[in-house]
Structure 1
Amino acid sequence: MDTTGRPAPGHEGPAAAPQEAAVHAEGIVKRYGPTVALDGARLTVRPGEAHALVGRNGAGKSTLVSVLTGMERPDAGQVTFGGAPAPGWGDTAAWQRRAACVYQKSMTVPELTVAENLYLNRFQGERTIRWRALRARARDLLADYGVDVDPAARIKDLGVEQRQFVEIARALSFGARLIILDEPTARLDAGGIARLFGKLRELRAQGVAFLFISHHLQEVYELCDTVTVFRDARHVLTAPVPGLAKDDLVAAMTGEEAGAARRVRPSYRPAGEPVLRTEALALDGRFAPLDLTVRAGEVVGLAGATASGNTAIAETLVGLRAPSGGRIAVRGRPIRTGSVPHALDAGIGYVPEDRHREGLILGRSVAENATLTVTDQLGPAGTVLPARIREFAARMIRSLDIKTTGPGQPVSGLSGGNQQKVVIARALARDPGVLVAVRPTNGVDVRSKDALLGVVRDVADRGRAAVIVSDELDDLRICDRVLAVFHGRVIAEFTGGWRDHELVAAMEGMAGGAGALGTVPAAAHTEGTEGTAP
């Protein structure tokens, strides 16, 4: 114990007695088939406390939130609020009186007013609604929590920050004294973050407890009293934030001691010519001006959390988003930005993050999915010959080792890893100069991950180039360089030999570390042949 009575940093502190806690969860187990999402997890949040819950993707944070809000029934364990057992399964109104979650994606109805959103679904059985009285009630409710928003304004006309305040006020109006904030700062600027934190401090003084989930660790140190770390579905650490070394926190998240190296691909300097180059490429509200060069034979990683801006960079490169400024060139040829056909013609292949929503037509065959980008090459005068589709698909099946009964098999019948190979086959069908892959191993097993990453690596080894956008460390290990993206800016660059905790720290906004070449300014020119970052 230190002189304040707190446990020594990095060590488990005593849990509050359940009757003292805003919420107390103990021994929570949740399985989805063979997957264990929570394995004996526990958490205690006290009244008036700002408690951070952190961990890498897949650690179990989202599953615990679902349990604490009554969305999922645990297979084992118990949850209490203020010492009382959690409401019964399915009693939505009772759960709303205990806890609420304000998600990164707003759950409000954009076309309705603030007042209508605050009292949505509270008028069952009433024949008429007195709108003037409703707005007055809403104005009083907002005033009680110090939220300066016009009750008559439509949600769609509010900023992100104001919508969050409305959602917090709605949750408190049900009587909830535990508010879960899921990545609340992802879309806020510095001023918005400061105002949000100020409001949270005011509400904490009224006894409201907050569970703060964030990939931005510096915000944990700015706002929170206590932090709990989950790793691999298990609780690994609860400690007071003051005095907890950042290296210790990152080590708890990664399972790697600060000085322990992990084997990664040896560093080398690709000798190839530039394949992909951007100049001052920017997208307002998503990422700052970026100069990037990716060379033949090189795999470059854009590492960062989902809302870091790295996905927006990838979507801009492939034409899904129109940038607010800057240029893109492939092998020296400028391409029309904001145009998927022009990106394809210029030689950019794309593997989207969500294969089911963006990558596949599940009711169609392997052959049809693999050839979607090359239908103009499968027959004369704009026709598509079935024999050529099958022939082309058969070559892709052999080259990528897709496990299927044949080109005609519906893609819905394949395993997740083989479905992802079909997506990659489609991306490679036009023989692109550069492959842009967003979280390419998302939702596949370990064996399939190795095979998929091998395909991406092979693209570069055959003289082309690849960009991997991910926050999964295993995805990034095949990269020759990794650029850490935070709040839309490249803040650090790593070559081979980086350690897990160094890269994670950079992705969480704490740039630097022995493996980093240095901090990279907003419009830094990142070249594969440079010895140090500018």
Structure 2
Amino acid sequence: MTGQEPVVEAVDIGKRYGSTVALDRAAITVRPGETHALVGRNGAGKSTMVAMLTGLQAPDTGRITFGGRPAPPLGDRDAWRRQVACVYQKSTIIPALTVAENLFLNRHDRGPGGLIRWGALRRSARELLATWSVDVDVDQPASALTVEQRQFVEIARALSFGARFIILDEPTAQLDGAGITRLFARIAALRAQGVTFLFISHHLQEIYEICDVVTIFRDARHIRTTAVAGLDRADLVAAMTGEDVSLAGDPHRRPPAADAEVRVVVRDLVTASGAEASFEARAGEVIGLAGGGGSGKFEVAEALVGLARPVGGTVAVDGRTLRRGSVPDALAAGVGLVPQDRHRQGLVPLLSVAENVTMTVPERVTRRGLISPARRDAFARRFITDLAIKASGPHVSVSDLSGGNQQKVVMGRALAGDPKLLVLITPTAGVDVRSKQTLLGVVEQVRRRGTVVLVVSDELDDLRVCDRVLVLLRGRIVRDLPAGWRDNDLVAAMEGVDLGHV
């Protein structure tokens, strides 16, 4: 490959969104014929770099070249498609159309009068798929395709524009083991036909299986680019996390006694996506549920609290088995929840702080069968004080609050019923440091009262408050790490890397 211009080169790329630095003098160079990995923790800048490399956004500073030539203007989408294509984790295939229609969307072969020549369209589709060895019926609706087939169709569609550089964004997240094996075989075959890949995955073990070179981002910056073959797994994780390998949480804090009452029992739980979980939690125990993309941690959490209906297994709180897929039953059993998406699942924006906090406990703020505004406001004031919610009073609309204070309102509602089980899904996402301290401080307060807390997150700071962390990988619990884990060990478990293997 010596002497050949890079397929793509991004140099000194800077990008800001308001006060947030998304990329800071970041760089990546991908050479012809490589399968090049781009890795980093959440927020490292990977998605922003992909947006720059595909022309969806322009960098504030720096330059991008393809084959030594400047990147096309943002508005020239056809020119971008001839240079690069991205197959995203969320498919861009239109289910209601046939495979052939998806392959040549807005590029239909037309005859006299502008009518689409359907026969010619189907022939072109078959020729295209045959060229790239994709065995799919072009006449079937795209809705009938498997995840794996959709990916292959998207790759073929990208190649039809002339691009020979394909970005694969978390391509294995929804594939089983056999599907991953077939995908990797297809990547190898396409490389032999002159296609170059940029491979993005949270499963670092896959980097060693399929990639030649890896570029590591951390905190919006380029950290290192090196050959995969010579990179020790521990060094890869250390580059992603930084040099901080301090113990998590307070190593002197005692976990619940071995004879403490078992309050939560999860037996053979199976989610609709196929994730599985079984565990027990004792009074006052804080358990973390961690994992990367496609691990199943969110699905398990939502099945526990009734937001999603599991296909198998049971969840019991203080001996009461919860009804599958029933939020009201979970609330009645003493389950409190801070959901993943506070805007869609956690708040009613046009209602007041008091109305949001007391929404699930109307019986606590009634007088003679009717809601008492005075009782409701008094009840809410306690949480405004305890959680340091910055609002002039309980009457303030939550839409007028900052993101961190909105999250505190959601936490207040989760605590309003004095829960026996408190489930926190990404509880500090999008909040400032002070709000994060307040929200995580709640965990220590409620555990002292015997509440079981489940913290569902892949943010290390969230997991430091846990007595132990259950790590999911591809829908299975693969590790049970006690308090005192090192950052590198937890990240390695989440990413599927065995640090003991060199």
TM superposition score category, shorter chain reference: over 0.9
CA contact (8 A) 1:299 1:481 kept: yes
The one of 212, 216, 223 aligned to 2:210: 223
Once the two structures are overlaid, the 10-residue window that deviates more, 478-487 or 113-122, is 113-122
Deviation for aligned residue 1:52: 0.5
Show the counterpart of 1:521: none
Q: Give 1:376 deviation, angstroms.
A: 4.6
Q: In structure 1, how many angstroms separate the alpha carbons of the residues matched to 2:369 and 2:107?
A: 57
Per the alignment, do residues 513 and 276 of structure 1 end up closer, same or farther by CA in structure 2, a change over 3 Å counting? farther
How does the TM-score come out when normalised to structure 1?
0.89
Residue 394 of structure 1 deviates from its aligned partner by 1.7
Matched, 1:120 2:105: yes
CA distance in 2, matches of 1:193, 1:306: 15
Name 1:88's counterpart in structure 2.
73
Does 1:154 find its partner at 2:141? yes
For the Cα contact (< 8 Å) 2:336–2:423, is it kept in 1?
yes
Per the alignment, residue 479 of structure 1 pairs with 466
Letter in 2 for 1:495: P
What amino acid maps onto 1:269 in structure 2?
Answer: P
CA drift at 1:389: 2.8
Match among 258, 264, 281 for residue 276 of structure 1: 264
Equivalent-residue separation in structure 2 for 1:322 and 1:381 (angstroms): 36
Q: Which stretch of structure 1 is more off in the superposition, 160-169 or 319-328?
A: 319-328
Decide which of 379, 395, 402 is 2:382's aligned counterpart.
395
Q: Give the whole-Å Cα distance in 2 for the aligned partners of 1:307 and 1:472.
A: 16
1:342 aligns with 2:294: no
Contact 2:109 2:116 in 1 (8 A): no
1:214 to 194, 201, 219: 201
Q: Which moved more, 1:261-270 or 1:457-466?
A: 261-270
Decide whether the 8 Å contact of 1:492 with 1:512 is kept in 2: no
CA drift of 1:76 comes to 0.1
Aligned partners of 2:388, 2:348: CA distance in 1, in Å? Answer: 20
Which of 442, 458, 480 is the equivalent residue of 2:445?
A: 458
Instruction: Give the equivalent residue in structure 2 for 1:7.
Output: none
Residues in 2 aligned to 1:504 and 1:448: alpha-carbon distance in whole angstroms: 24
Q: C-alpha distance in 2, partners of 1:78/1:308?
A: 36
Task: Give the CA deviation at 1:380.
Answer: 5.6
Does the Cα contact within 8 Å between 1:286 and 1:312 map onto a contact in 2?
no
Relative to structure 1, is the Cα distance of residues 95 and 382 closer, same or farther in structure 2, using a 3 angstrom cutoff? farther
Cα distance, 1:193–1:454 mapped onto 2, change above 3 Å: same
Distance 2:108 2:370 in 1: 58
Aligned residue among 287, 294, 302 for 2:281? 294
* Structure 2 counterpart of 1:367, one-letter code: A
State how 1:408-487 maps to structure 2 within 5 Å. 408-487=395-474
The answer as to whether partners of 1:305 and 1:470 remain within 8 angstroms in 2 is no
Structure 2: runs of 5 or more not aligned:
none
Mapped partners of 2:491, 2:463: distance in 1: 11
Q: Which residue of 2 aligns with 1:517?
A: none
SS in 2 for 1:20: coil
Q: What is the distance in 1 between the residues matched to 2:487 and 2:443?
A: 21
User: In the alignment, what sits opposite 1:523?
Assistant: none
The answer to whether the 8 A contact 1:315-1:321 is kept is yes
Aligned length: 496
- Of 75, 97, 106 in structure 1, the residue corresponding to residue 60 of structure 2 is 75
| Cα distance change, pair 241–98 in 1 and its aligned pair in 2 (3 A) | same
Query: 2:284·2:447 contact (CA, 8 Å) conserved in 1?
Result: yes
SS of 2:230's partner is coil
Contact 1:50–1:224 under 8 Å retained in 2: yes
- Aligned-partner SS, 1:181: strand
2:9 pairs, out of 11, 24, 40, with 24
Provide the rounded CA distance (Å) in 2 between the counterparts of 1:333 and 1:70. Answer: 54
Query: Of 480, 491, 494, which residue of structure 2 is paired with 1:507?
Result: 494
Partners of 2:2 and 2:324 in 1: CA distance: 55
Work out which of the residue numbers 28, 48, 57 in structure 1 matches 2:42. 57
1:264 to 245, 249, 258: 249
Alpha carbons of structure 1 residues 495 and 119: separation in structure 2 relative to 1, 3 Å: same
- Aligned partners of 2:171, 2:371: CA distance in 1, in Å? 49
Q: Equivalences for 1:136-151 in 2 at 5 Å? A: 136-151=123-138
CA positional deviation for 1:337:
1.6
- Is the Cα contact below 8 Å between 2:273 and 2:299 reproduced in 1? no
Contact 2:39 2:214 in 1 (8 A): yes
CA drift of 1:409 comes to 1.3
The question of whether the paired residues in 1 share the 8 Å contact of 2:109 and 2:117 is answered with: no
1:72 to 1:124, Cα distance in 2 relative to 1, 3 A? farther
**Aligned residue identity for 2:255:** R
Q: Deviations over 1:159-190 (max 9, x none)?
A: 11001111111111111121111111011000
Counterpart contact for 1:492–1:511, Cα < 8 Å: no
Which moves more between the two structures, 114-123 or 73-82? 114-123
Distance 1:90 1:376, change over 3 A: farther
- CA distance, structure 1, for counterparts of residue 369 and residue 143 of structure 2: 44
Q: Structure 1 residues 122, 370: CA separation in 2 closer, same or farther (over 3 Å shift)? A: farther
Aligned: 1:133 with 2:136: no
Moved more, 147-156 or 455-464: 455-464
Please give the alpha-carbon distance, in whole angstroms, between the structure 1 residues aligned to 2:242 and 2:107.
46
Structural RMSD (CA): 2.0
1:364 to 336, 340, 351: 351
Aligned to 1:10: none
Structure 1: tracts of 5 or more residues without a match: 1-14, 515-534
Q: Is the 8 A contact 1:40 1:234 kept in 2?
A: yes
Q: Which one is further off, 381-390 or 341-350? A: 381-390
2:32 aligns with 47
2:150 alignment partner, one of 155, 158, 163: 163
Contact residue 108 and residue 121 of structure 2 kept, 8 A: no
CA deviation profile, 1:389-448 (whole Å, cap 9, x unmatched): 322222221222211111121212211111110111111122110111111111112222
After TM superposition, the score normalised by the length of structure 2 is 0.95
Residues 25-72 of structure 1: per-residue CA shift (max 9 Å, x gap): 000000011111100000011122100000000100000000001111
Structure 1 CA distance, aligned partners of 2:65 and 2:73? 12
